[in-house]
Amino acid sequence: MSLLLLTTALIVQDISWQPATPRQGSLIVVSAPGAITGQFAGEPLHFRRGKALAAVPLSATDSTRLETLSIGWDGTVLGETAYVTVEVRRPAEEQVQAAERFTTPPDSALQERIDRERALSREVARRAHDVPRLWDAPFIRPRAARITSPFGSGRQVNGVWRTQHSGLDLAGRKGAPVRVSNRGIVALVGDFFYGGISVYVHHGDGLMTVYHHLSRALVAVGDTVERGEIIGRVGATGRVTGPHLHWQAQYGAVPFDPADLLKLP
Ligand SMILES: [Zn+2]
């Protein structure tokens, strides 16, 4: 009897996460010994040895539901639910000037293009979950350069309130190198209305990094890229005020602060 109790106790889940009270738009590490899968903020979780990454959306409410599934000692599926307390991210306000064509309401042809490009980026975000984890070494910054705009800042474009900044901007002159922040597979390369010339890289288990406003992309879809490899050149394509790199990190469709990637063990 006591042996059975001990065995049961060992496989009962105990869900925890780090940081304990994450901010909106941040990456968390979920620990749930024995868990095989789960869900957080609408995205599936990929557990390896009881740990999984997840991202708190910028729009997350103060209590966001976390679900995990594990297989019990007798083969039954055990579901557990926890609620992650989320701290509000207080955005720094920012003024941005952009060309008129980016702020006037789009005509139907342009709206069609924008919709098509959004669908493409949603699709590539969904597929980030189909790729096995490809990285071991720590993530690096794509440029050793000054941060010109942090993640999550509140933005006014030509005086009109827009959504919060979904990436982190790094300074750079046109033509300066952009390095991929970790090993991965190039999932999408294109020239988009808002993002300009962009490279999307799958790192596996839901993680994706995106590099926008390039003057040139130096990789093609399907290429395996090694950490630090030059994948493009800084530019000013898409909705920008001048040359810089917009570096975005996503867990599935959820953008989070790319700086959190650099803190991963
Ligand atoms: Zn940006």
pLDDT digit string, tens, across residues 183-238? 999 999 999 999 999 999 999 999 999 999 999 999 999 999 999 999 999 999 99
* pLDDT tens by residue, 150-185: 999 886 667 666 678 999 999 999 999 999 999 999
Q: Which residues lie near ion ligand 1 (Cβ < 5 Å)?
A: 167, 169, 246
CA of 82 to the centre of ligand 1 (A): 33
CA of 125 to the centre of ligand 1 (A): 18
CA of 43 to the centre of ligand 1 (A): 24
For residue 12, name the pLDDT band (cuts at 50, 70, 90): very low
CA of 149 to the centre of ligand 1 (A): 7
CA of 224 to the centre of ligand 1 (A): 25
CB 221 within 8 A of CB 175: no
Length of the chain: 265
Cα–Cα distance, 41 to 65 (Å, whole number): 7
Is 263 a residue whose pLDDT tops 90? yes
CA of 110 to the centre of ligand 1 (A): 21
pLDDT of residue 100: 72
CA of 91 to the centre of ligand 1 (A): 14
CA of 3 to the centre of ligand 1 (A): 57
Cα–Cα distance, 231 to 179 (Å, whole number): 6
CA distances from 127 to 67, 206, 208 (A): 21, 8, 10
Write the Ramachandran bin of 213: left for phi over 0, alpha for psi from -120 to 50, otherwise beta. Answer: left
109, 173, 114, 182: which is closest to 142 by C-alpha?
A: 182
With the C-alpha atoms ordered 237, 238, 244, 250, is the resulting torsion angle positive or negative?
negative
Residue keyed to tokens 């808002």: 194
pTM attached to this predicted model = 0.89
